[in-house]
Structure 1
C-alpha cells in the first residue's frame, strides 16, 4: 500500500509555490498552559492526536497579516520543522513533527510580529480513544441504510432556522428547500433501522453548506470542520456515532475531496494562486462565473484510463468545476492535499467512523486520491472506503479497486467502489419480458462480469440512491419486480446499500429522476404527519408487507456466513427462471427468481452439483419446509429464498 507521498514530499515541492520558508531547530522544553488563548481566527485541524504512524502534521493558520509573524512554540516531543508563507499575507502553514515521546496535552503557539506585538493560540494534542486496528470498516457482512438527513426526521425543530445563514426558512412543499430533518432525527429512530436488519448507516453530508439555495443536500461544504447547525452540533454527530457503536452498528461518513461550496470561507481570500482549479478564470470572471464554468468542464471520466485521451480533455474533466457553485479543489497543491487528508483522518478519529464514502471519486486528481486512500488505510488497516464511480462500465468500476492489474500500473488503495453497472443490469433484466428468458440473462451476465473484479464482495451494490430514481419508480410500480430485485441484491456477493424509504415503496412517479422528489420526506419524521412509517400508522397493506419482507431477508442476512463470505454459484436463466446459490460449510442458500405469471414445477436435476438431494430447506419468508428432491413447485411469479439453516 502506498505511503502518504504528498505529506512526506511537502518539504520538497513547496518551493514550486514560491513560499518563503523558515526552519526551526530549537530544542523545546514543555511549558504548562495556565490559560487557554484563542487569538487566531482559524487554526486547522483544530486539534490533533498523538500516536499516528505518520508523525507529520501541517497546520493551516488564518489571520490578518499572519504571514508577517514568526511562530514560536515549546512542547516536549513536538518540533516546528518548517514555516510556509502563502501568496495571501493572511495565511501561514506550519509543519510540525510529533514524535513518539510526545504526550497528550495543551501548548501555546506564539506568533510574534516585528513591532513586538504577539498573538497566542493554544493547541491541543489528544490521546486516541482506541487502537487503530479497532477502526473496523464496513464489509460484505453489512447492509447499509442510506439517508438524506434533511428529509428523514426532524427531532429538533429549534434548529430549523439559524440566524445569519444565507438560506433561511423551512418549506416542505418545495422539493429544493430545507425541510428540517436533522442528526437527532436519525439517532431517535435507530431502533427502527436496527430492527429492519441494517448494520450500518450512511447519511449524506451533514457539514455546513452556507449557500444561498439548495443547501439541504450537503455536497457544497463551506467549512470542512463544522457541522451544519441546522443538522445539529459536533456533539449530536458524535452521539449518533456512539449510539450506533453501542448497537454494534457503523457510521459511514460521506466526504467530498473534489470540491467545496462557492461560499466556503476561503473563497474570499484564497491562500495560493492555485488553491482551486481554474482560479484565474474565476477571479477574472467572478461576476459571470456561471458562464465560464460551462466552458471549462466536462464529465468524460474515462480520460482517467483512456490511453488516447487528449491533455485538454483530461484537464477539463479533472479541473473543471463540477457545477458553477462548487469550486474544484486543486489537490496538486501539496498544502491542499495535506488539508484534505488530515481532514478525513480528523473525522475518522473524532467520530470513530466505520467507513467513508467519497463523493465524485474520478473527478479529483487520481494520483492524489491514491495517496489520500493510502494515507487513511495506512493509519487504519481494517477500515473501509468506497468511491463513487458513476459508470455502467465494469472496466471502470474494476479500475478503481485496490489491487486491480491496470495497464498504467495505477493502484487506487481503494477497497470498494460503487456498482452502478449491476444496478442497471438488475433493473433492465426485470423490466424486460420479450426475450426467451424474459430478460434474466442481463442479470446473470452482469454478475458473471465479476471475473473482472479483484474482490467482488467488497464492491457496494444498490438499486437506488439520493441521485437516482426510486427503484419502485424504475419498476413502474411493480411490487413483485421490486421484491425480486431487493432479494437478489441482498443475496449477491456484494456490500448492499438500500435507500431510506425503499422499504415502504417511496417513489418519484410525478417527475422520475427529479432530485428533490427522490429525496422526499420520510413519513412520520415530522410532528403532525398523518402517516408514520416508523410505527406503521397509515401505511397501506403493500407498504407494510414490503417492510416485513425486507426485515425478514435483512435479519436472515445479518447472521448468514454463506451470504457474507460464501462461494457463489449461479445457473444460466431458462424459461424465465434464474437460480443463484451461496454456499459455506453446512449452510446453502438458494435464491430462485421466477418471472412466469403461471405456476410451474422446477426440475431440480439440473442443480445436482449443489449437493442438496434429500435435504430439508426452509423458505425464509414463509417458513415453509420443502424437501429438495426431483422438483419443487413454484406457485407465483417472484422470489423464493431457501436455506439449509434451521434457524
Structure 2
C-alpha cells in the first residue's frame, strides 16, 4: 500500500510540474469586444489557444459575472458565459487564467464599449429605399496597394474571370456621391469578410474569419468608415451574411472544437440535394430533409451545425456584433432556408429583439410563392412553425417578370404580361408582401438586359415595374448602363464583370459617361430620373396598390395611391402604338383630369383615352 501512495504522490508532482512548465497561449477571443447596455445581458466568449481548457478563468469587474466555463473535446477551446448587468460601465477588465495551483499564468484584457445608440434607434431599410447591389471585387479599385496581400493564398488576376480583380471597400467609399446622385438610398454589399481560399475567393461566400474584413478589400475600420460616410449621405448599409457554411480554409478547420461542429463532419462528402420542396412536403422522407439541411454546397463550403448550442450562439453574437459595430440598416441573409430551421427562427428573433426597427431580407431562391411566404414573420403556417424574418427576396415575382417580358411568350390567357399579373395575385400568401425585396436580377443570375435579349424597350418596362411596384426595389451595379452577359448564360465571372471606369485606364467610364453608347447613356438617364422621382413619391413608396388584369397580354395597368397622391403605371409591350380607353379605370380616375408622364415629361388629358407609345412604360402622376 505504501508503494501505491508513493506512486500517487510522484504522479501528482509530475502533473504539477507539467502544468508549471506547460505553454499556454491565447490566440483568439471572439467576439473581439462587446458593449454595455445590450438588451440581452448574456455574452458567451470563445477562447482559443493551446491547452487553454487546462486553466480556470476568473473575472473581477463590477457588473460582470462569470456564470460558467465550458470545455469541449478540443483542449484548445474554452467558452465563457458572462452576465453583464445593465449598470455595468464601459471599460477594460482582465480575464485571469489560473493553473491547478491557483497561479495566474495568463491574462487577457477584454473591453466593453459604450453603445453609440440604442437598439430601438437602428432604422432598417424600408419601402422608401432602393438598394444598389455591389460585388466589391468587381466595382471599383480604390486602393491598388491591397490587390495582393502577403500571406493570403489567392492573388489578383484581372484577366481571369473567376479571379480577384482588385475592387475594394475604398472603391465603394469613393463612389458614394455617384450612388447618391443616381438616386439610390441603400447599398447591399456582397460579403467582404476574409475568404482565404485557394481559388474563387473574390465572391466572399466562403468565410474564413467571421470577425475580420479580408485585407484585399480593406480593414474593419474601412468597413466602418464606409457605413459612416454612407450614412452622412443618407445611404443605408446592408451587410450580406452567411450562416449556413464557412470556407474550408477557416481557421478552426484545423482544430475543430467538437465532433459535431459541422454537419457530416466525418466520412464521405455529402452534398445538399437542394430539394426545397421537402421543407413543406407532407410526404417528404427523413433522408431528403436531412440532406437538404445538412448537406454541403460544395467541398470547399463546410456546412455548419447550428444544432450545437455553442455554434448557434457564436453565429448569433457575430451577427449582433456587426450590426452594432457598423450601425447597419439591414442584413441580407444568404441561403436562408438551408441552415437548421429552428435555429434560423431563434437567430432572427434574437436580432430583431435587440433591434426592433431593423430589417432583414432572406434569400429563398424559389419561384414558388408558397415556399417563399413560409419564412416571413406573421405567416400562420400549417405546421405551427413561427418565423421572425421580416423580408424575403421576391424570386417568384422576378421569374414572372422575366417570362412576361419575353417576346416569344405565347399570346394566350397565361402568356405575356398576364404572367406577372397572376403572380402578383398570389400576394395573399404573404404576411407582408409590401416588405418583400423586388429586383430584375442579382449577382447569381443573368443580367437583366441579357434576360430581355438586349431589347431596350423591354428593359425600361422591367425597370419601371420594379421601381413602382409594391415592395423594396433592388438593382444590381451596372444595370443602369445595360451591362450584360450575352453569349455566356449563367457565367458568374461574366455576370460580375468589372464596372466600367472602376479601374485606372478603363476606356469606358460609366461614372462620367465617357465611352458609353447612346443607348447606355439613355438607359442611365432613364434609371436616374425614376430613382430620384421615387425618392419623393409617397404613393409609390408606401401607398396602396390596385392592378387591372391585362385584357390583351401586351398592356398592363396598375395604380399606386394614398390620400394625397396617385400614380398610374402603364406597360405597353406591343410593338405598335396603342390607344388605351380609360373608362375601365373609372374607379381610380374619378376626379382626375390630367396625367403627367414622369419619364417623357408629356401631359395627357385623362378624359376618354390616352395614346401609348410602342414598346415602352408610362408612369403618370395624376391630378
- TM-score of the alignment, normalized to the shorter chain, above 0.5: yes
* Residue 271 (structure 1) aligned with residue 271 (structure 2): no
Question: How many residues in Structure 1 have an aligned counterpart in Structure 2?
Answer: 596
Residue of structure 1 equivalent to 2:614: 636
Give, in angstroms, the shift of residue 114 of structure 1: 2.5
* Residue 491 (structure 1) aligned with residue 468 (structure 2): yes
Partner Cα separation in structure 1 for residue 282 and residue 55 of structure 2: 48
Give, in angstroms, the shift of residue 297 of structure 1: 2.7
Residue of structure 1 equivalent to 2:17: none
Partner Cα separation in structure 2 for residue 591 and residue 403 of structure 1: 30
39-48 vs 204-213, greater mean Cα deviation = 39-48
Give, in angstroms, the shift of residue 398 of structure 1: 0.5
Residue of structure 1 equivalent to 2:205: 219
Partner Cα separation in structure 2 for residue 420 and residue 605 of structure 1: 34
* Residue 599 (structure 1) aligned with residue 577 (structure 2): yes
SS at match of 1:578: strand
Residue of structure 1 equivalent to 2:410: 434
Give, in angstroms, the shift of residue 628 of structure 1: 0.9
CA contact (8 A) 2:25 2:52 kept: no
Residue of structure 2 equivalent to 1:472: 449
574-583 vs 533-542, greater mean Cα deviation = 574-583
Residue of structure 2 equivalent to 1:261: 247
Partner Cα separation in structure 1 for residue 562 and residue 364 of structure 2: 31
358-367 vs 636-645, greater mean Cα deviation = 636-645
198-207 vs 107-116, greater mean Cα deviation = 107-116
Partner Cα separation in structure 2 for residue 94 and residue 141 of structure 1: 42
Q: Is there any run of 5+ residues in structure 1 with no aligned partner, and where?
A: 1-37, 282-291
The counterpart of 1:300, out of the listed 275, 279, 293, is 275
Partner Cα separation in structure 1 for residue 44 and residue 619 of structure 2: 54
- The 1:612–1:175 alpha-carbon spacing in structure 2 relative to 1, beyond 3 Å, is farther
Residue of structure 2 equivalent to 1:171: 157
Partner Cα separation in structure 2 for residue 200 and residue 297 of structure 1: 33
Give, in angstroms, the shift of residue 461 of structure 1: 1.1
CA contact (8 A) 2:25 2:51 kept: no
* Residue 506 (structure 1) aligned with residue 493 (structure 2): no
Partner Cα separation in structure 1 for residue 506 and residue 128 of structure 2: 35
* Residue 100 (structure 1) aligned with residue 76 (structure 2): no
Give, in angstroms, the shift of residue 39 of structure 1: 6.3
CA contact (8 A) 1:39 1:120 kept: no
The counterpart of 1:249, out of the listed 220, 227, 235, is 235
Residue of structure 1 equivalent to 2:43: 57
* Residue 459 (structure 1) aligned with residue 436 (structure 2): yes
SS at match of 2:549: strand
Partner Cα separation in structure 2 for residue 433 and residue 320 of structure 1: 37
The counterpart of 1:586, out of the listed 564, 569, 573, is 564
Give, in angstroms, the shift of residue 117 of structure 1: 5.4
- The 1:194–1:60 alpha-carbon spacing in structure 2 relative to 1, beyond 3 Å, is same
Give, in angstroms, the shift of residue 137 of structure 1: 0.7
SS at match of 1:314: helix
Runs of 4+ aligned residues of structure 1 deviating over 2 Å after TM superposition are: 114-117, 611-614
Residue of structure 2 equivalent to 1:379: 354
RMSD: 1.3
CA contact (8 A) 2:192 2:217 kept: yes
Partner Cα separation in structure 2 for residue 515 and residue 614 of structure 1: 48
- By relative contact order (CA 8 Å, sep 6+), the higher-ranking structure is 1
- The 1:226–1:541 alpha-carbon spacing in structure 2 relative to 1, beyond 3 Å, is same
Give, in angstroms, the shift of residue 510 of structure 1: 2.7
* Residue 140 (structure 1) aligned with residue 127 (structure 2): yes
Residue of structure 1 equivalent to 2:364: 389
TM-score (norm. length: structure 1)? 0.91
Residue of structure 2 equivalent to 1:559: 536
158-167 vs 299-308, greater mean Cα deviation = 299-308
Give, in angstroms, the shift of residue 307 of structure 1: 2.1
Residue of structure 2 equivalent to 1:320: 295
1:447-492 alpha-carbon deviations (Å, 9 max, x no partner): 1111111111101111111100111111111111011011011111
CA contact (8 A) 2:460 2:617 kept: yes
